[in-house]
């Protein structure tokens, strides 16, 4: 099951890397009126591991892979982190962003997130925590 999900992710990245001016929309939904609509991520604002503002504007015309993590997670997080590092090193693209979100704001200062970022070896222009 893990291999199948990873293969689907890789196929999505390959399709997304095609030389088009606009990135393709790979998913949509049918609204209450039966109309086909594209998913849209509303505006957002976060503070990244460098203490800088990160908004939806930073993701425009970029491929972005999002995940949720904990720096102290002993189970799923280390293998997931290894996959993200592998993706970042395999697909060295200016337009690839890896966005890692935490929901444990009480325990994660900017310094902790920055240290975690440095430990991943994902370039700061591609990886945001």
**76-92 confidence digits (pLDDT tens):** 888 888 888 888 888 87
Number of domains within the chain: 1
Of 94, 76, 74, nearest in space to 84 by CA: 76
The answer on pLDDT for 94 being more than 60 is: yes
CATH code, 43: 3.40.30.10
If you write DSSP's letter for every residue of 49-100 in order, what string do you get?
TTS-EEEGGGGTTSEEEEEE--TT-SSSHHHHHHHHHHHHHHS--TTEEEEE
60: containing domain: 2-128
The answer on pLDDT for 52 being more than 90 is: yes
The answer on pLDDT for 102 being more than 60 is: yes
Work out the average pLDDT over 49-70.
Answer: 89
Q: Which of the four pLDDT bands, split at 50, 70 and 90, describes residue 60?
A: confident
Tens of pLDDT, residue by residue over 11-28, are: 555 555 555 566 666 678
């Amino acid at each position: 099951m893990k291999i199948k999900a990873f293969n689907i992710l890789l196929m999505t990245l390959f399709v997304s890397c095609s030389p088009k001016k606009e990135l393709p929309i790979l998913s949509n939904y049918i609204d209450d009126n039966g109309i086909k609509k594209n998913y849209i991520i509303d505006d957002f604002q976060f503070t990244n591991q460098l203490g800088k503002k990160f908004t939806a504007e930073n993701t425009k015309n970029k491929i972005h892979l999002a995940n949720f993590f904990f720096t102290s997670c002993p189970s799923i997080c280390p293998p997931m982190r290894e996959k993200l590092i592998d993706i970042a090193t395999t697909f060295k693209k200016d337009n690839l962003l890896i966005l890692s979100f935490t929901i444990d704001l009480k325990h994660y200062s900017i310094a902790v997130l920055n240290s975690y970022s440095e430990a991943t070896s994902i370039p700061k222009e591609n990886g945001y925590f």
